[in-house]
Structure 1
Amino acid sequence: MRWRPSRILQVFVALIVLLGFLALFSSDDDIVIPQGGKVMKNIKSFIGTDERKKWDPFGLGLSSDTSMSENNIFKADQNHGAAPVRTCQPILNFAFVKTHKAGSTTLISILQRFGYTHNLLFALPKRGDVFLGWPYALQPGKHVLPLQDGTMKFNVLVNHAVFNKNVVSSIIPDNPKFIGVVRYPLTHFKSVMNYFQKMLIPPDEKDMYSMMERIVRFADNPNYYDGYNDKMKNSTDPLFHVRSVTRNFQSADFGLKSADMADPEKVKLFMDDLHETFPFLLVMEYMHESLLLLKRRWCWELADIMFLQKNVFKYQNKADPIPTQTANKLLDWMSIDVQLYHWSNATLWKEIAKEENFEEELSYYKSINNLVGAFCKADVFLLRQQGPDGKFKIPPLEIAASKWMAPLTVELEDCKDLMRFEMAFTRMLQIAQRPDLFNEDYYYKGADGILKFKEPMKPATPVRSKFSAVKGLKNMPPANVPPRKN
């Protein structure tokens, strides 16, 4: 008997969901930590030791460069009980330093979703992109979209901006908290070389070398290749902040000026100020651990930090180790980023060591996040195949309460929020905050990773859902357009 396509689809989806449930009850409790290639059995055997401070994944193709964090699945906590009672107040005013090529697209999805569901006000770009002035220094009057009443008092800033504590505090005035993310410099450099290759490869060398060969050539003559992007390096505008996408690029996003990178005293001041401003930073190689610490310190819920990876690209030589001599040269070229990373990594584990029952909650968090991810991929797969009016529906995912989390129900709308990319979320927020300037025709789903059909999506809840028909990218209205008259 020949199967109909709908039957095949049902079996496929069922297999995806089954794999998610199997992952939830897996008994594998190992954690792979890239420490000279050794496997550490658990966090407790590593936290608080000198090994963490000494760890330097020098020259290695980190597993984190292929996957944002460990793919190991942990046995979930099966001792379901009453949901945890929150005795603290959640942090609702915060700014995120969105460093390039460090997992920040995944992280901004978490922060945008949290702010949107809590009805927070975002500092949003005036232009039709995701940049708050970057690579220029942040100037709120020039780069930030005012609220409808003309004021600039926000709760959240997460889009690409050069960090400046005083400037950010002027538009998030109610004692904001600050967080950012860093990535190990060598794997960060690989990702930069792939993403910004048009800026780093002369036309006469296009398609001549492999990725690793380009990395070796760059390390041998960094000033030549880095200086090829004359617009960034030679701009006479004093507010043009980021002059290089390879030399201490992460530190530049955190506010270090290119002109100060050669001055040890100014670098020390930068690092001292950073240590004072950020109690800890998220580390891409330990995404789950970083987010769980953030959740605890900011009094958020586990449901707030569920995520699906975004912008994870495949490219040549991605997992291959960089030759030792070349790696040495690159680490010298990025010496301030190396300082930044080592401090961030050491501080993260120092702060985790202060927490109680961290490993237990971490295991539960990873398992539940994996289960939600499997469910959402199946649910959205059906949406893409059938459209919004398809006959076959997956029931909502119901997760019972535990000592770590209140009962959780995951539906299609939640999955779309999990999968929504920065551009789409930013435009949805612009519509919500400035309906006088933007309507739903402006919403952009092209790079959303959610819908690929042309029929309109009917909102489930008219108040907060803004899923319009896919009509392509519309022109950004000028910033000085007067409010529309009703």
Structure 2
Amino acid sequence: MMRHHCSNRCFFKFLLVTVVGSMVILLSRVYLRSPLDFENGLYEFISVSNQSTIKAQRVATQQQEMLREITKSTSLRPMPSHINDKSAAQPTSISKGNVREEKTLNRTNMNSSYPNTTLSESTSTTTFVPLVEPPDCVGEFPVRCFVLTKIEKTGSSTLFAIFARYVRSHRLNILMQTKFVHIDWRRPKGRAWDIGPGRVTRADVLINHARYNKSMIDQYVRKGYKYVVIAREPVSWFKSAAKYYDFLFGKQTPQQILYNNRTLYAPRSEASGIATWFHLHQLQWLGFNYHRDKDNMTAIRQHIDWVVPKIDVVMLNEQYDASLIILRRRFGWSYTDIFYSKYIITNSKVTQLSVNATKKLLSPEVNLGEKILYDRLNETWWSQSELEEDNFWEEVDHFSSLNSDVSARLCQQVFSSKREVTISSSQWHEALNLTFDTCHNLLKLKYIPMMEDLGSYALGNRYKYHERFS
């Protein structure tokens, strides 16, 4: 009898444990965001007594799961002028699938770039803010939406600095990588790259290292953007690149690299979309399919025929100042917008290639495709109507002289007096005001701090220059 009573009692204990365990598993599946969050979620369920709060949390979770894309923002920023301005064109639509989750903090933003921005911290409420579809920029003047294919060793870092200064001064939205310097199109928006500081579906500009991908750019940059490309004569480019990247290849000279196939065709990390360091490099940045067509001269010519007509502003490293004057005229910018100080200078003239080495470099087996590309861009550049206008080259000389004077003398006056300096008007421009900020960004802000500053402006603390994707 005692044995029978004990077995019944053990059976009921076992049944009770089974039922309780089943209820706990069921509750975890119903109420928790993820089964892996069991411990924290169960504590949350038991400790929260307000059922309406629980219901609201469940609804928010369901909404979150239904969204296609969520971008988490750790700080609030003022909207760019074309979004804040009530007189500006109204957005054409609201994207329903793109939502940014925003948790507010109850403190004043101490970032000097945004002195009027306050953040509140009082509540843990999660709000969902739709991303705005900005208006097209077709016919917009001055031009404030543009794309630069930043080809390495063409003078593109200096051009990037000009564009970055313009982005900051005009509060534009930029498509920006989250780590290091390259945009990896293989990775999704919100992880490898994103758009900021505004909550918009399309950026105003793309100016970082990003291999030309027309479909991605058309999807994530405002419609009607201007496409800018800067290129360099292939022999000069090769010598400059060989000297700049020599630390990667045991300090080899350009001629040694050219005759060492292991180095000449050395692969690189394809996070940037570029497969090699020296072979068909400029073509690859312009979207050429290297792995499929590197040995196909017909495919190379067809790609050049396809991409060159899409370029709105062709710039040549060898005609840098003249190219900037053409860009200024077409974009409706001021001289202060295009003043520059050179970044990452590599003197390719100190290293010469022999005649035979030059022939090898420009052979079909090596970089003949680069020569065909440059010849086409060079022909396009010299056929531009601006070159036929009266006094064009006089304006180029004036700008070159003035730009040198700004760096060598006028900005030094601004720094010493801590006051603006006014540049007298000329037949090519009105009176110009040189501010402390302009001179600081022009001369004092080095490349890496400039990149970090732009990343912080666009993405806040989500941008990590010193991190790379594996």
Pairwise TM-score range, normalised by the shorter structure: 0.5 to 0.7
One-letter amino acid matched to 2:273: H
**Aligned counterpart, 1:405:** 429
Instruction: Check whether the contact 1:242–1:257 (CA below 8 A) recurs between aligned residues.
Output: no
User: Cα deviations across residues 19-52 of structure 1 (Å, max 9, x unaligned)?
Assistant: xxxxxxxxxxxxxxxxxxxxxxxxxxxxxxxxxx
Residues 130/218 of structure 1: CA separation in 2 closer, same or farther (3 Å cut): closer
Instruction: Check whether the contact 2:424–2:430 (CA below 8 A) recurs between aligned residues.
Output: yes
Give, in whole Å, the separation in 2 of the partners of 1:230 and 1:334.
16
**Aligned counterpart, 2:28:** none
**Aligned counterpart, 1:215:** 254
Q: 1:224 aligns with which of 226, 239, 262?
A: 262
Give the percent of matched residue pairs that are identical in Structure 1 and Structure 2. 21
**Aligned counterpart, 1:130:** 181
**TM-score normalised over the length of structure 2:** 0.63
- More strand as a share of residues: 2
Deviation at 1:162, TM superposition (A): 0.7
**Aligned counterpart, 2:152:** 100
Give, in whole Å, the separation in 1 of the partners of 2:465 and 2:280.
36
Flag structure 1 segments of 5+ consecutive residues without an equivalent. Answer: 1-86, 384-391, 443-472, 479-486
1:258 aligns with 2:296: no
Q: 2:359 aligns with which of 328, 334, 341?
A: 328
One-letter amino acid matched to 2:319: Y
Give, in whole Å, the separation in 2 of the partners of 1:412 and 1:92.
23
**Aligned counterpart, 2:452:** 427
Q: 2:281 aligns with which of 249, 270, 294?
A: 249
Give, in whole Å, the separation in 2 of the partners of 1:96 and 1:412.
27
Instruction: Check whether the contact 2:343–2:447 (CA below 8 A) recurs between aligned residues.
Output: no
Residues 191/426 of structure 1: CA separation in 2 closer, same or farther (3 Å cut): same
**Aligned counterpart, 1:152:** 201
Secondary structure, counterpart of 2:174 in structure 1? coil
Give, in whole Å, the separation in 2 of the partners of 1:434 and 1:240.
20
Instruction: Check whether the contact 1:243–1:258 (CA below 8 A) recurs between aligned residues.
Output: yes
Structure 2 matches for 1:106-185, cutoff 5 A? 106-127=158-179, 129-133=180-184, 140-147=189-196, 151-185=200-234
Secondary structure, counterpart of 2:276 in structure 1? coil
Flag structure 2 segments of 5+ consecutive residues without an equivalent. Answer: 1-138
Structure with higher Rg: it is 2
**TM-score normalised over the length of structure 1:** 0.61
Residues 269/412 of structure 1: CA separation in 2 closer, same or farther (3 Å cut): same
Deviation at 1:231, TM superposition (A): 5.2
Instruction: Check whether the contact 1:186–1:327 (CA below 8 A) recurs between aligned residues.
Output: yes
Give, in whole Å, the separation in 1 of the partners of 2:468 and 2:359.
48
Residues 224/320 of structure 1: CA separation in 2 closer, same or farther (3 Å cut): closer
One-letter amino acid matched to 1:189: F
Residues 230/255 of structure 1: CA separation in 2 closer, same or farther (3 Å cut): closer
Instruction: Check whether the contact 2:197–2:457 (CA below 8 A) recurs between aligned residues.
Output: no
Give, in whole Å, the separation in 2 of the partners of 1:146 and 1:98.
18
Structure 2 matches for 1:298-309, cutoff 5 A? 298-309=331-342
**Aligned counterpart, 1:341:** 374
How many residue pairs match? The answer is 326
Deviation at 1:362, TM superposition (A): 1.4
Deviation at 1:254, TM superposition (A): 1.1
Deviation at 1:138, TM superposition (A): 7.3
Q: 1:365 aligns with which of 395, 399, 402?
A: 399
Instruction: Check whether the contact 2:211–2:272 (CA below 8 A) recurs between aligned residues.
Output: no
One-letter amino acid matched to 1:427: E
Instruction: Check whether the contact 2:149–2:286 (CA below 8 A) recurs between aligned residues.
Output: yes
Give, in whole Å, the separation in 1 of the partners of 2:204 and 2:391.
31
Secondary structure, counterpart of 1:224 in structure 2? helix
Residues 276/313 of structure 1: CA separation in 2 closer, same or farther (3 Å cut): closer
Secondary structure, counterpart of 1:163 in structure 2? coil
User: Cα deviations across residues 274-303 of structure 1 (Å, max 9, x unaligned)?
Assistant: 122114421011100111111112222222
Deviation at 1:425, TM superposition (A): 2.8
User: Cα deviations across residues 360-386 of structure 1 (Å, max 9, x unaligned)?
Assistant: 221221121111111266359xx6xxx
Instruction: Check whether the contact 1:105–1:421 (CA below 8 A) recurs between aligned residues.
Output: no
One-letter amino acid matched to 1:393: S
Moved more, 296-305 or 142-151: 142-151
One-letter amino acid matched to 2:149: V
Structure 2 matches for 1:200-211, cutoff 5 A? 201=249, 206=250
Deviation at 1:154, TM superposition (A): 0.7
RMSD: 3.0
Instruction: Check whether the contact 2:203–2:221 (CA below 8 A) recurs between aligned residues.
Output: yes
- More helix as a share of residues: 2
